[in-house]
Protein backbone atom coordinates (compact mmCIF):
# COMPACT_ATOMS: atom_id res chain seq x y z
CA UNK A 1 0.00 0.00 0.00
CA UNK A 2 1.35 3.46 -0.94
CA UNK A 3 2.52 5.61 2.02
CA UNK A 4 1.25 9.19 1.57
CA UNK A 5 3.92 11.83 2.09
CA UNK A 6 3.91 13.97 5.27
CA UNK A 7 1.51 11.67 7.08
CA UNK A 8 2.26 9.53 10.08
CA UNK A 9 1.80 5.80 9.51
CA UNK A 10 -1.19 5.91 11.85
CA UNK A 11 -2.84 8.76 9.90
CA UNK A 12 -2.24 6.99 6.58
CA UNK A 13 -3.71 3.78 8.04
CA UNK A 14 -6.80 5.62 9.31
CA UNK A 15 -7.29 7.52 6.04
CA UNK A 16 -7.35 4.23 4.16
CA UNK A 17 -9.97 2.89 6.57
CA UNK A 18 -12.03 6.10 6.21
CA UNK A 19 -11.97 5.76 2.43
CA UNK A 20 -13.02 2.12 2.66
CA UNK A 21 -15.89 3.16 4.96
CA UNK A 22 -17.13 5.81 2.51
CA UNK A 23 -15.32 8.88 3.93
CA UNK A 24 -15.76 8.76 7.70
CA UNK A 25 -15.10 6.21 10.45
CA UNK A 26 -17.49 5.69 13.34
CA UNK A 27 -15.71 6.75 16.51
CA UNK A 28 -15.56 3.23 17.99
CA UNK A 29 -13.72 2.00 14.89
CA UNK A 30 -11.36 5.00 15.14
CA UNK A 31 -10.71 4.32 18.86
CA UNK A 32 -10.05 0.62 18.16
CA UNK A 33 -7.33 1.53 15.66
CA UNK A 34 -5.90 4.33 17.81
CA UNK A 35 -5.43 1.88 20.69
CA UNK A 36 -4.92 -1.53 19.09
CA UNK A 37 -3.87 -1.29 15.39
CA UNK A 38 -0.98 -3.80 15.20
CA UNK A 39 2.36 -1.99 15.58
CA UNK A 40 0.72 1.46 15.60
CA UNK A 41 -1.95 1.65 18.29
CA UNK A 42 -1.25 3.04 21.72
CA UNK A 43 -1.38 -0.37 23.44
CA UNK A 44 0.20 -2.21 20.51
CA UNK A 45 3.40 -0.15 20.35
CA UNK A 46 6.56 -1.59 21.82
CA UNK A 47 7.19 1.02 24.52
CA UNK A 48 5.83 1.07 28.03
CA UNK A 49 3.29 3.75 28.80
CA UNK A 50 1.85 2.93 32.15
CA UNK A 51 3.01 2.00 35.57
CA UNK A 52 6.21 3.21 37.13
CA UNK A 53 8.89 2.54 34.55
CA UNK A 54 12.14 3.87 36.02
CA UNK A 55 14.16 2.67 33.04
CA UNK A 56 11.90 4.17 30.38
CA UNK A 57 13.22 7.13 28.39
CA UNK A 58 9.95 8.98 28.82
CA UNK A 59 7.76 9.01 31.93
CA UNK A 60 4.68 6.82 31.99
CA UNK A 61 1.26 8.22 31.00
CA UNK A 62 -0.81 6.96 33.91
CA UNK A 63 -0.73 4.68 36.90
CA UNK A 64 -3.23 1.91 37.61
CA UNK A 65 -4.03 0.43 41.03
CA UNK A 66 -1.69 -2.61 40.79
CA UNK A 67 1.16 -0.44 39.50
CA UNK A 68 0.56 1.99 42.38
CA UNK A 69 0.55 -0.51 45.23
CA UNK A 70 1.18 -4.24 45.49
CA UNK A 71 -1.34 -4.26 48.35
CA UNK A 72 -4.02 -3.97 45.66
CA UNK A 73 -3.42 -7.43 44.19
CA UNK A 74 -2.61 -8.96 47.57
CA UNK A 75 -6.06 -7.82 48.77
CA UNK A 76 -7.94 -8.78 45.59
CA UNK A 77 -6.31 -12.24 45.95
CA UNK A 78 -8.26 -12.81 49.17
CA UNK A 79 -11.52 -12.44 47.25
CA UNK A 80 -10.20 -14.59 44.43
CA UNK A 81 -9.27 -17.30 46.96
CA UNK A 82 -12.77 -17.34 48.42
CA UNK A 83 -14.33 -17.66 44.97
CA UNK A 84 -11.90 -20.42 43.91
CA UNK A 85 -12.94 -22.48 46.92
CA UNK A 86 -16.59 -22.06 45.91
CA UNK A 87 -15.78 -23.07 42.33
CA UNK A 88 -13.89 -26.14 43.52
CA UNK A 89 -16.84 -27.12 45.71
CA UNK A 90 -19.07 -27.38 42.61
CA UNK A 91 -16.46 -29.40 40.71
CA UNK A 92 -14.88 -26.54 38.75
CA UNK A 93 -11.19 -25.92 38.05
CA UNK A 94 -9.12 -23.66 40.29
CA UNK A 95 -8.04 -21.32 37.51
CA UNK A 96 -7.51 -17.56 37.32
CA UNK A 97 -7.89 -15.88 33.94
CA UNK A 98 -6.86 -12.24 33.70
CA UNK A 99 -8.04 -10.14 30.78
CA UNK A 100 -5.88 -7.16 29.79
CA UNK A 101 -3.08 -7.73 32.26
CA UNK A 102 -1.13 -4.57 31.29
CA UNK A 103 2.27 -4.70 32.96
CA UNK A 104 1.47 -8.05 34.65
CA UNK A 105 1.58 -6.43 38.09
CA UNK A 106 -1.85 -7.64 39.24
CA UNK A 107 -1.25 -11.24 38.16
CA UNK A 108 2.10 -11.23 39.99
CA UNK A 109 0.51 -9.88 43.16
CA UNK A 110 -2.29 -12.44 43.01
CA UNK A 111 0.07 -15.36 42.32
CA UNK A 112 2.21 -14.41 45.32
CA UNK A 113 -0.82 -15.10 47.53
CA UNK A 114 -0.19 -18.80 46.87
CA UNK A 115 3.37 -19.09 45.61
CA UNK A 116 5.16 -17.39 48.51
CA UNK A 117 3.71 -19.84 50.99
CA UNK A 118 5.70 -22.65 49.39
CA UNK A 119 8.73 -20.95 47.80
CA UNK A 120 9.53 -22.26 44.34
CA UNK A 121 6.70 -24.75 44.48
CA UNK A 122 3.10 -24.97 43.53
CA UNK A 123 1.00 -26.06 46.47
CA UNK A 124 -2.03 -28.30 46.20
CA UNK A 125 -4.36 -25.31 46.19
CA UNK A 126 -2.29 -23.13 43.82
CA UNK A 127 -4.55 -22.18 40.94
CA UNK A 128 -3.73 -22.43 37.26
CA UNK A 129 -3.22 -18.98 35.76
CA UNK A 130 -3.73 -17.64 32.26
CA UNK A 131 -3.71 -14.23 30.61
CA UNK A 132 -5.70 -12.98 27.64
CA UNK A 133 -3.99 -9.88 26.26
CA UNK A 134 -4.58 -8.11 22.94
CA UNK A 135 -1.20 -6.40 22.77
CA UNK A 136 1.86 -8.47 21.84
CA UNK A 137 4.11 -5.73 23.28
CA UNK A 138 2.32 -5.96 26.63
CA UNK A 139 2.53 -9.76 26.65
CA UNK A 140 6.30 -9.43 26.58
CA UNK A 141 6.18 -6.96 29.44
CA UNK A 142 3.92 -9.26 31.45
CA UNK A 143 6.36 -12.14 30.95
CA UNK A 144 9.20 -10.02 32.26
CA UNK A 145 7.17 -8.79 35.28
CA UNK A 146 6.15 -12.32 36.23
CA UNK A 147 9.78 -13.48 36.09
CA UNK A 148 10.07 -16.95 37.65
CA UNK A 149 6.25 -17.18 37.89
CA UNK A 150 5.88 -16.77 34.12
CA UNK A 151 6.50 -20.49 33.64
CA UNK A 152 3.30 -21.21 35.58
CA UNK A 153 1.18 -18.90 33.39
CA UNK A 154 -0.34 -19.51 29.96
CA UNK A 155 -0.85 -16.69 27.47
CA UNK A 156 -3.93 -17.36 25.38
CA UNK A 157 -3.97 -16.57 21.66
CA UNK A 158 -7.73 -16.90 21.41
CA UNK A 159 -10.67 -17.07 23.76
CA UNK A 160 -10.96 -20.53 25.34
CA UNK A 161 -14.25 -22.38 24.73
CA UNK A 162 -14.78 -22.86 28.45
CA UNK A 163 -13.90 -20.62 31.39
CA UNK A 164 -13.95 -22.01 34.92
CA UNK A 165 -12.64 -20.42 38.11
CA UNK A 166 -12.16 -16.69 38.46
CA UNK A 167 -11.87 -14.10 35.71
CA UNK A 168 -10.37 -10.74 36.65
CA UNK A 169 -9.99 -7.50 34.74
CA UNK A 170 -8.69 -4.21 36.10
CA UNK A 171 -9.26 -1.14 33.94
CA UNK A 172 -10.04 -3.28 30.92
CA UNK A 173 -13.66 -2.36 30.24
CA UNK A 174 -12.77 1.35 30.05
CA UNK A 175 -10.19 0.57 27.36
CA UNK A 176 -12.76 -1.00 25.03
CA UNK A 177 -13.92 1.15 22.10
CA UNK A 178 -17.16 3.02 22.77
CA UNK A 179 -19.61 4.71 20.42
CA UNK A 180 -20.05 8.46 20.78
CA UNK A 181 -23.51 9.97 20.53
CA UNK A 182 -24.25 13.69 20.24
CA UNK A 183 -27.68 15.23 20.78
CA UNK A 184 -27.43 18.45 18.77
CA UNK A 185 -30.47 20.72 18.37
CA UNK A 186 -32.58 17.91 19.81
CA UNK A 187 -31.48 15.41 17.10
CA UNK A 188 -29.29 12.41 17.97
CA UNK A 189 -26.14 11.86 15.91
CA UNK A 190 -23.42 9.23 15.97
CA UNK A 191 -20.01 10.88 16.00
CA UNK A 192 -17.73 9.85 13.15
CA UNK A 193 -14.20 10.97 12.36
CA UNK A 194 -12.90 12.19 8.99
CA UNK A 195 -9.86 14.04 7.61
CA UNK A 196 -10.59 17.68 6.83
CA UNK A 197 -7.78 19.99 5.60
CA UNK A 198 -5.10 17.58 6.82
CA UNK A 199 -6.49 17.17 10.35
CA UNK A 200 -8.96 14.82 12.02
CA UNK A 201 -12.37 16.38 12.61
CA UNK A 202 -15.76 15.26 13.88
CA UNK A 203 -18.51 14.39 11.47
CA UNK A 204 -21.88 13.91 13.16
CA UNK A 205 -24.35 11.74 11.26
CA UNK A 206 -28.02 11.33 12.31
CA UNK A 207 -28.64 7.98 14.01
CA UNK A 208 -31.36 5.84 15.49
CA UNK A 209 -28.96 4.87 18.32
CA UNK A 210 -29.86 6.22 21.77
CA UNK A 211 -28.31 6.08 25.22
CA UNK A 212 -30.17 3.71 27.56
CA UNK A 213 -31.60 6.72 29.43
CA UNK A 214 -32.60 9.88 27.58
CA UNK A 215 -30.84 12.72 29.46
CA UNK A 216 -33.49 15.09 30.80
CA UNK A 217 -33.63 18.44 28.95
CA UNK A 218 -33.14 19.54 25.36
CA UNK A 219 -29.64 20.94 25.65
CA UNK A 220 -26.84 19.69 23.43
CA UNK A 221 -25.40 16.55 24.98
CA UNK A 222 -22.45 14.29 24.15
CA UNK A 223 -22.20 10.84 25.68
CA UNK A 224 -21.11 7.28 25.03
CA UNK A 225 -22.68 3.85 24.67
CA UNK A 226 -20.71 0.64 25.09
CA UNK A 227 -21.79 -2.14 22.71
CA UNK A 228 -18.29 -3.65 22.63
CA UNK A 229 -17.89 -3.91 26.41
CA UNK A 230 -21.40 -5.37 26.68
CA UNK A 231 -20.73 -7.87 23.88
CA UNK A 232 -17.51 -8.80 25.71
CA UNK A 233 -19.57 -9.65 28.82
CA UNK A 234 -21.97 -11.75 26.70
CA UNK A 235 -19.04 -13.70 25.18
CA UNK A 236 -17.56 -14.20 28.62
CA UNK A 237 -20.89 -15.45 29.98
CA UNK A 238 -21.21 -17.97 27.16
CA UNK A 239 -17.83 -19.50 28.08
CA UNK A 240 -18.45 -19.35 31.84
CA UNK A 241 -21.77 -21.16 31.46
CA UNK A 242 -20.14 -24.01 29.52
CA UNK A 243 -18.04 -24.94 32.57
CA UNK A 244 -18.72 -26.23 36.07
CA UNK A 245 -18.66 -22.79 37.67
CA UNK A 246 -17.03 -19.36 37.32
CA UNK A 247 -17.14 -15.81 38.61
CA UNK A 248 -15.78 -12.63 37.04
CA UNK A 249 -14.51 -9.59 38.92
CA UNK A 250 -14.12 -6.28 37.07
CA UNK A 251 -12.64 -3.17 38.62
CA UNK A 252 -12.87 0.13 36.80
CA UNK A 253 -13.93 3.76 36.98
CA UNK A 254 -17.56 4.48 36.29
CA UNK A 255 -21.04 4.52 37.75
CA UNK A 256 -24.58 3.28 37.29
CA UNK A 257 -26.64 4.61 34.38
CA UNK A 258 -28.56 7.29 36.32
CA UNK A 259 -25.28 8.97 37.15
CA UNK A 260 -23.76 8.21 33.75
CA UNK A 261 -26.55 9.88 31.78
CA UNK A 262 -27.15 12.69 34.26
CA UNK A 263 -28.31 15.86 32.46
CA UNK A 264 -25.29 17.78 33.76
CA UNK A 265 -22.75 15.30 32.34
CA UNK A 266 -23.26 16.88 28.92
CA UNK A 267 -19.71 16.40 27.64
CA UNK A 268 -19.64 12.65 28.33
CA UNK A 269 -16.71 10.87 29.96
CA UNK A 270 -14.29 10.30 27.07
CA UNK A 271 -10.76 11.19 28.16
CA UNK A 272 -7.18 10.85 26.94
CA UNK A 273 -4.11 10.32 29.11
CA UNK A 274 -0.53 11.20 28.31
CA UNK A 275 2.35 12.04 30.64
CA UNK A 276 0.03 12.00 33.68
CA UNK A 277 -2.13 14.71 32.09
CA UNK A 278 -5.72 14.28 30.91
CA UNK A 279 -7.24 15.92 27.86
CA UNK A 280 -10.57 15.50 26.12
CA UNK A 281 -9.33 15.46 22.49
CA UNK A 282 -8.90 11.97 20.97
CA UNK A 283 -8.35 13.47 17.50
CA UNK A 284 -4.87 14.82 18.21
CA UNK A 285 -1.68 12.74 18.59
CA UNK A 286 -3.60 9.63 17.55
CA UNK A 287 -1.84 6.48 18.77
CA UNK A 288 0.36 8.47 21.14
CA UNK A 289 -2.03 8.63 24.05
CA UNK A 290 -4.53 6.49 25.88
CA UNK A 291 -8.24 6.99 25.12
CA UNK A 292 -10.79 5.78 27.67
CA UNK A 293 -14.37 6.23 28.73
CA UNK A 294 -16.02 5.49 32.05
CA UNK A 295 -17.92 2.25 32.48
CA UNK A 296 -21.72 2.19 32.67
CA UNK A 297 -22.00 -0.53 35.32
CA UNK A 298 -25.76 -0.82 34.84
CA UNK A 299 -25.07 -1.80 31.21
CA UNK A 300 -22.49 -4.37 32.37
CA UNK A 301 -24.89 -5.86 34.94
CA UNK A 302 -27.72 -6.04 32.38
CA UNK A 303 -25.46 -7.62 29.74
CA UNK A 304 -24.50 -10.24 32.34
CA UNK A 305 -28.08 -10.90 33.41
CA UNK A 306 -29.30 -11.11 29.80
CA UNK A 307 -26.63 -13.76 29.27
CA UNK A 308 -27.83 -15.74 32.35
CA UNK A 309 -25.14 -14.70 34.84
CA UNK A 310 -26.01 -13.35 38.29
CA UNK A 311 -24.60 -10.19 39.85
CA UNK A 312 -22.76 -11.14 43.05
CA UNK A 313 -22.12 -7.57 44.17
CA UNK A 314 -21.26 -4.02 43.17
CA UNK A 315 -19.49 -1.52 45.37
CA UNK A 316 -16.77 1.11 45.44
CA UNK A 317 -13.14 0.03 45.20
CA UNK A 318 -12.46 1.59 48.61
CA UNK A 319 -15.22 -0.40 50.28
CA UNK A 320 -14.29 -3.61 48.44
CA UNK A 321 -10.62 -3.46 49.46
CA UNK A 322 -11.42 -2.63 53.08
CA UNK A 323 -13.97 -5.46 53.16
CA UNK A 324 -11.34 -7.85 51.80
CA UNK A 325 -8.90 -6.90 54.55
CA UNK A 326 -6.59 -4.26 53.05
CA UNK A 327 -5.67 -3.10 56.56
CA UNK A 328 -4.50 -6.59 57.52
CA UNK A 329 -2.51 -6.84 54.29
CA UNK A 330 -0.79 -3.57 55.24
CA UNK A 331 -0.06 -4.59 58.82
CA UNK A 332 3.71 -4.85 58.25
CA UNK A 333 3.95 -2.35 55.37
CA UNK A 334 6.38 0.56 55.38
CA UNK A 335 5.14 4.14 55.57
CA UNK A 336 5.60 4.80 51.80
CA UNK A 337 3.74 1.56 51.02
CA UNK A 338 0.88 2.61 53.29
CA UNK A 339 0.77 6.08 51.71
CA UNK A 340 0.39 4.59 48.23
CA UNK A 341 -2.18 2.05 49.38
CA UNK A 342 -4.15 4.88 50.97
CA UNK A 343 -4.77 6.27 47.47
CA UNK A 344 -6.59 3.06 46.56
CA UNK A 345 -9.29 3.72 49.14
CA UNK A 346 -9.60 7.44 49.80
CA UNK A 347 -12.68 8.98 48.22
CA UNK A 348 -10.91 11.81 46.40
CA UNK A 349 -8.35 9.41 44.85
CA UNK A 350 -9.42 5.96 43.60
CA UNK A 351 -11.69 4.85 46.43
CA UNK A 352 -15.03 6.16 45.18
CA UNK A 353 -14.82 6.70 41.41
CA UNK A 354 -13.53 3.15 40.92
CA UNK A 355 -16.07 0.39 41.38
CA UNK A 356 -15.97 -3.38 41.61
CA UNK A 357 -18.60 -5.62 40.07
CA UNK A 358 -18.65 -9.40 40.42
CA UNK A 359 -20.71 -11.73 38.21
CA UNK A 360 -21.17 -15.47 38.54
CA UNK A 361 -22.73 -18.55 37.03
CA UNK A 362 -26.04 -19.28 38.81
CA UNK A 363 -24.73 -22.47 40.46
CA UNK A 364 -22.40 -20.26 42.56
CA UNK A 365 -24.91 -17.58 43.54
CA UNK A 366 -25.84 -19.17 46.85
CA UNK A 367 -22.24 -19.91 47.87
CA UNK A 368 -21.13 -16.38 46.96
CA UNK A 369 -23.91 -14.66 48.88
CA UNK A 370 -21.33 -14.09 51.62
CA UNK A 371 -18.59 -12.76 49.34
CA UNK A 372 -16.12 -10.94 51.58
CA UNK A 373 -15.68 -8.00 49.19
CA UNK A 374 -19.35 -7.01 49.30
CA UNK A 375 -20.04 -7.84 52.96
CA UNK A 376 -20.56 -4.15 53.83
CA UNK A 377 -21.78 -1.46 51.43
CA UNK A 378 -23.05 -3.56 48.52
CA UNK A 379 -24.70 -1.16 46.04
CA UNK A 380 -26.15 -3.63 43.54
CA UNK A 381 -29.60 -2.16 44.19
CA UNK A 382 -28.43 1.23 42.82
CA UNK A 383 -27.61 -0.11 39.35
Chain residues that interact with ligand SAM, rule: CB under 6 A: 43, 64, 66-67, 99-103, 105-106, 132-135, 138, 170-172, 175-176, 232
Q: How far is the CB of 265 from ligand SAM (least distance, A)?
A: 22
Quick one: 64 or 361, whose CB is closer to ligand SAM? 64
Quick one: 171 or 190, whose CB is closer to ligand SAM? 171
Quick one: 24 or 236, whose CB is closer to ligand SAM? 236
Q: How far is the CB of 358 from ligand SAM (least distance, A)?
A: 16
Taking a C-beta distance cutoff of 8 angstroms, is the pair 256, 240 a contact? Answer: no
DSSP 169-207: EES-GGGS--EEEEEETTEEEEEEEEEETTEEEEEEEE-
Quick one: 10 or 105, whose CB is closer to ligand SAM? 105
* Measured distance CA(347)–CA(201) in Å, rounded: 36
Q: How far is the CB of 77 from ligand SAM (least distance, A)?
A: 14
Q: How far is the CB of 284 from ligand SAM (least distance, A)?
A: 20
- β-pairing, 246-255 vs 354-360, is antiparallel
Alpha-carbon dihedral of residues 202, 208, 211, 217, nearest 10 degrees?
A: 90
Give CB contacts under 8 A, 24+ apart, made by 49-53.
Answer: 49/290, 50/102, 50/103, 50/290, 51/102, 51/103, 51/105
Q: How far is the CB of 72 from ligand SAM (least distance, A)?
A: 9
Quick one: 111 or 364, whose CB is closer to ligand SAM? 111
DSSP 247-272: EEEEEEEEE-HHHHT-TT-TT-S-EE
Q: Strands (DSSP E) along 234-348, which ranges? A: 246-255, 271-274, 277-279, 290-292, 295-296, 310-316
Quick one: 132 or 300, whose CB is closer to ligand SAM? 132
Q: How far is the CB of 133 from ligand SAM (least distance, A)?
A: 5
Amino acid sequence: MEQRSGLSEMDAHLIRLCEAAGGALAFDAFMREALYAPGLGYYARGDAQFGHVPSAAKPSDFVTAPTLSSAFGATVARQVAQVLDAVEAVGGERCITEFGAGTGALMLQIMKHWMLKIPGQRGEKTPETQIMELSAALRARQQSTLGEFATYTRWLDAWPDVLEGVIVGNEVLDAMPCKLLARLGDVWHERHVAQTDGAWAWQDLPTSLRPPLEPVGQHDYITEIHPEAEAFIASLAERMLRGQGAAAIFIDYGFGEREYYHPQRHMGTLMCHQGHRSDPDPLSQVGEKDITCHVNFTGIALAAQNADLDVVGYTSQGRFLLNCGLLEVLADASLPERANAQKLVTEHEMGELFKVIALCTPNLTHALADCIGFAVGDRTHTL
